[in-house]
Amino acid sequence: MQDDKALFDIFRHPQTIRALSHKIHQEALKLSQPLKIMEVCGGHTHTIMKYGLKQLLPQMIEFIHGPGCPVCIMPKERIDQAIALARMSDTILLTLGDMIRVPGSQSSLVQERANGYDIRPLYSPMDALKIARENPTKNVIFFAIGFETTTPMTAAVILRADQENLHNLYFHINHVLVPPAVCAIMDDSQNRIDAFIGPSHVSVITGSQIYEPIAKRYGTPVVVSGFEPVDVMEGILKIIGQKNENRSEVEVQYSRAVTQGGNHKAQAMIDETMSVRENFRWRGLGDIAHSALRLRDEYAHFDAEVVFSQVLSYEPIDDHKLCICGSILKGLAKPIECTVFGTACTPNSPLGSCMVSSEGSCNAYYRYGSAL
């Protein structure tokens, strides 16, 4: 435990952070214009806000908050599908983290749970196997969410369920992919992004190689950084260095965990169980081709979208008319520009998904507003 504390102290050391701040200020003087950096992952947003990093940087550096929060990008119709499945008789619906609180069109999973339906948040996807074994007469449905980070865990559960021949465990797959979403944002004529802080945990699985086409196609530096304050500051310094040297490359600051090729075993499990969907609708971003995964046909007997198709609707449902999560996820607006931020929309009574999630940018602004 003492060693863990010492490790954290290294990456949160005030003198190190101040030294990096001084170096960033020096290097930023060489920039020819303001620098707009999108931190793709909500974890980076919270680090920037929680530790007041913005106040340690030159005013010409602006952060744009990206769509890298799996809860935030889940469209209402997919949440309504989860609710429809949970309302079926003899059913236990499982999901992860904040997903249970995200509002659908008329309700949320937490409201349905209060109404008496058996809806359970999981601490580990592997718990789905235990619940299915203990409830052989129930349909146990795992509403699986996440970017490339959590996808291998779902794949491992699918393979184990297949090995055990569990006939009552099903999967509603909502795993999404980072690169297509980033490309969709960059292809928007309104985009104003100069560089990216790449998500670290995603990159542990995929490797940094997935960002190379983005850096080449759009001429934007991508630096994969860890989540600690020193990590983020070092990542920003690397981005400024690339801009000053007129380079657009993929660099890895988080080298203690990320390689170029990533985790090949995890990738193999994903490839064995899932394939890329033709299309997936992202909350706030709309339809993005080839941006999500589905179960392969050979695992269709586990696929809740196939087995229970009769209760599912795919009709697109718009967000609340006062909610600007879509613009926030695209980097076109800040949470404080929303007219209902902190009033009608709070973590306890969210109108939009960006306020619900512990990784959401609205949630970060609400928690750490004094750091603005």
Could you tell me the CA-to-CA distances from 273 to 162, 227, 289, 316 in Å, in that order?
10, 30, 20, 27
Q: Phi and psi at residue 67, in whole multiples of 5°? A: -95, 20
pLDDT band at 369; cut points 50, 70, 90: confident
State the pairing for strand pair 250-252/274-276.
Answer: unpaired
- Which string of b and e fits 5-14 if b means at least 16 CB within 10 Å? eeeeeebeee
Distances, alpha carbon 139 to alpha carbons 87, 88, 177, 273, in Å: 11, 9, 28, 21
pLDDT in tens, 132-154: 999 999 999 999 999 999 999 99
Contact 201, 165 (CB under 8 A): no
Longest dimension (CA), the chain: 67
Separation of CA 250 from chain center = 20
Q: Mean pLDDT, to the nearest integer, of 75-93?
A: 97
pTM, two decimal places: 0.92
336, 372 in Cβ contact below 8 A? Answer: yes
> Do the beta carbons of residue 49 and residue 330 sit within 8 Å?
no
The residue ranges of every structural domain in the chain are: 15-323, 325-371
The CATH topology of domain 15-323 is: Rossmann fold (3.40.50)
Highest average pLDDT, of 4-18, 100-114, 223-237, comes from 223-237
With beta carbons less than 8 A apart as the criterion, state whether 196 and 255 touch: no
d(CA 86, CA 113) in angstroms, rounded, equals 9
pLDDT tens profile 205-227: 999 999 999 999 999 999 999 99
For position 5, what pLDDT does the model report?
61
Report how far residue 218's alpha carbon sits from residue 59's, in angstroms, rounded to the nearest whole number.
24
- Give the residue-averaged pLDDT of 97-102: 86
Q: What is the pLDDT of residue 326?
A: 83
Q: pLDDT category, 268, cuts 50, 70, 90?
A: very high
Residue 234 pLDDT exceeds 60: yes
Q: What is the pLDDT of residue 8?
A: 63
Token pair for residue 202?
């995603």
Identity at 215, one-letter amino acid code: A
From residue 245, alpha-carbon distances to 2, 24, 194, 234, 248 in Å are 41, 15, 14, 17, 9
pLDDT in tens, 2-34: 555 666 678 999 999 999 999 999 999 999 999
Distance CA 246, CA 268 (A): 36
Q: Which residues contact 189 (CB under 8 A, 6 or more apart)?
A: none
Q: How many CB atoms lie within 10 A of CB 124?
A: 11
pLDDT digit string (tens) for 150-198?
Answer: 999 999 999 999 999 999 999 999 999 999 999 999 999 888 899 999 9
Averaged pLDDT score across all residues of the chain: 93
